[in-house]
Chains A and B, each alone.
Chain A
Amino acid sequence: MRRKLTALVASLLLAAPLLTSGGAALAQNGPLRIEITDGVIEPLPYAVPGFLAETPAAADLANQITRVVAADLNGTGLFREVPATAHISTVSDFNAPVKFADWKAVNAQALITGAVSVNGKQLTVRFRGYDVFADKELGAGLQFSGTTDGWRRMAHKVADAIYSRITGESGYFDSRVVFVSETGPKNDRRKRLAIMDYDGAEVQYLTNSAALVLAPRFSPTGDRVLYTSYESGFPQIHVLDVGKVQRRVLSADKGIMSFAPRFAPDGKMVVYSQAEGGNTDLYTMDIATGSRTRLTNAPSIETAPSYSPDGSQIVFESDRSGSPQLYVMAASGGEARRISFGKGRYGTPVWSPRGDLIAFTKQNKGRFHIGVMRVDGSEERLLTASFLDEGPTWSPNGRVIMFTRETQGANGRALLYSVDILGRNLKPVRTPDGASDPAWSPLQQ
């Protein structure tokens, strides 16, 4: 079911002859770089003239790939595309020297050129990035090869490479999101699992809507998804192989409710909540053996656990203080320390892939927020506010958060939104129907 990129290969292009007429000035130019800081960021202007079609069959794909690359970069809020109508230079030969002056004249600080060829089902994409004002190439050119049905992934990989070279951070475009697709009225909502590219393209459904499903979570490599299903009549944790769309129940004890699962970074253990006798505590389970360990044992609610990237700690939500707050404990259980101390109620903490921040849902004075804090609870920053925002998930590079936003009232509807961790670039993520509970995959290999 997963789109095959059997031979998605990145290879360095042979160095093309570059005429750097102003070579002497190079040393005085610092590298082209967007530093992502708290200050106001002026998006970096760049140009991406249509990738050249090197074979007749490549014309359509060349254009589509160019537009996906641009959409990826523009969508970050860090880049601003100089529109083609403003270009005074064209690129008609991928290997010919770039006329830097013409791109300086339209104030494009970066330039991306590309060439696409199609032979049968084989697709090859080559691209180069340029630092226009330094008159030089931004790293070496790259080539991706694969099959034509993987063209979107190749476009995302081009954009990831450009993003990475200019920001100094890894990208997040060649990634997927698993989520709950929602249809039907509020009092008869039908939910099914779906998966799509991070930008909302290529939606596929993984379950039908016969049973209520909640909160899917990717494995560390993106090959499996944990989720909660009411297939048996009780909420129980299932694991689904994304490639084969095969699923099985992990916790099948009759009448015992289990939910809120997440993988450990090793992909072998699962931490989750189990409710027995009205009391919800945290457990871990070894997926292979099914053996379980109880991590908490308190009359309070303990739920929404999430591992630190090194697997040594777990952040979770508990109302042991009287209201839901965030706590951190060792992955083996034991004493927990509270990290949330602001006004309001805190829930659904998620450790960032970089390990430095925890995203959370906060409820205060009738409003919901998505926020981030350091792992010791300091420097809390609220990124959003609405009637109901919840369930943050991190982009693979820890730069962007996707979440559920639900509107109020009888016609209330859930949709996915994304925002960067500085609270900028808030925008909806397009989905065919209502959508909730997004989980972002790691970068695909």
Chain B
Amino acid sequence: MSGFKKAFVLVAALGLAACSNTSWNDAGAGNAGGSGIAGSNLDPASPAYFQEAIGDRVLFLIDQSTLNPEAEAILQGQARWLASNSDYVVTIQGHADEQGTREYNLALGARRANSAREYLISQGVAGSRIQVVSYGKERPLEICSAESCYAKNRRAVTVLAGGLTG
């Protein structure tokens, strides 16, 4: 499959997300836990590889926006991928768990998204390629009201866009 075709599918999915509020990118495997690169049979230049093999999201502690070493490792992988796939731009979505007011969580999500953005910039990604948006507590990935779910909801997700020339 050519890069063009995959990119087209990706853009179509983004368009759908904009219309329906479905956070399609959250439905994926989203490898936040480990690198998972070894053994992957995905095309290393594909968005799917970015999401699943590198990991498209980093997680945060309660009320925190600082990156732990694991998160930094994922973002380093994202930066390397973006360096070799330079036609992509990204939007980093910052999210919070449901413990907190709507307004505070919007601000907290902005902090988290920016934290990931700053790290990508420190790893050589041009700031002009990275937009941030906060969803606060509006788009939970996991829906239980327990720390096991909250831990996965406190996240910054790097969503790819563009790539039409790839």
Contacts and interface: CB of A to CB of B under 8 A. Distances in A.
Real binding pair: yes
Contacts of B101: 304, 317, 324, 347-348, 361, 363, 390-391
Interface in A358-398: 361, 363, 387-388, 390-391
Nearest to A259: B106
A360 to B, nearest CB: 10
A304 B103 contact: yes
Contacts of A275: 106-107, 110, 134
Given A257-B133, A280-B107, A209 B21 contact: yes
Given A212-B138, A214-B102, A303-B107, A409 B132 contact: no
Nearest to A214: B102
Interface string A330-349: 00000000000000010110
A317 B133 contact: no
> What class of interface size applies to chain B in its complex with A?
35 or more
Interface stretch (B32-40, B73-81, B111-119): B111-119
Interface in B92-128: 98-104, 106-108, 110-115, 117-118
B25 interface: no
A278 B145 contact: no
B163 interface: no
A410 interface: yes
Interface string A209-238: 111101100000000000000000111000
Interface residues of A, number: 46
Contact of B110 (A209, A278, A412): A278
Nearest to B22: A188
A347 B18 CA distance: 30
B153 to A, nearest CB: 10
A406 B145 CA distance: 11
A412 B143 contact: yes
Nearest to B142: A187
A246 interface: no
A410 B104 contact: no
A301 B140 contact: no
A292 interface: no
A259 B103 contact: yes
Given A278-B110, A280-B110, A303-B107, A408 B145 contact: yes
Kindly name the residue among A233, A278, A390 whose own CB sees the greatest number of chain B CB atoms within 10 A: A278
B144 interface: yes
A304 B115 contact: no
A437 interface: yes
A427 interface: no
A275 B98 CA distance: 20
B131 interface: yes
Contacts of B139: 187
A277 interface: yes
A83 interface: no
Contacts of B144: 409-410
A233 B15 CA distance: 11
A168 interface: no
B48 interface: no
A190 interface: yes
B141 A303 contact: no
Contacts of A233: 18, 91, 133
A387 B138 contact: no
B106 A235 contact: yes
A214 B138 contact: yes
B1 interface: no
A363 B105 CA distance: 13
Contacts of B118: 278
A190 B21 contact: yes
B19 interface: yes
A280 B145 CA distance: 27
B65 interface: yes
Nearest to A437: B102
Contacts of A255: 131-132
A347 B105 CA distance: 11
Q: Which of B106, B107, B115 has the most CB of A within 10 A?
A: B107
Contact of A278 (B113, B131, B141): B113
B133 A234 contact: yes
Given A186-B143, A188-B21, A410-B144, A273 B107 contact: yes
A32 B18 CA distance: 59
Interface of A: 185-190, 209-212, 214-215, 233-235, 255, 257, 259-260, 273, 275, 277-280, 301, 303-304, 317, 319, 324, 345, 347-348, 361, 363, 387-388, 390-391, 406, 408-410, 412, 437
22 contacts: A187-B26, A187-B142, A187-B143, A189-B138, A210-B21, A212-B21, A235-B106, A255-B131, A278-B111, A278-B117, A278-B132, A279-B111, A280-B111, A317-B104, A324-B104, A348-B102, A363-B101, A390-B102, A391-B101, A391-B102, A409-B144, A409-B145
Given A190-B21, A209-B21, A260-B103, 15 more contacts: A210-B21, A214-B138, A235-B106, A235-B134, A257-B110, A259-B103, A278-B118, A303-B107, A387-B145, A391-B102, A408-B145, A410-B143, A410-B145, A412-B143, A412-B145
List 9 tightest A-B contacts by C-beta distance, closest first: A278-B114, A408-B145, A280-B107, A275-B110, A347-B101, A301-B107, A186-B143, A304-B103, A410-B143
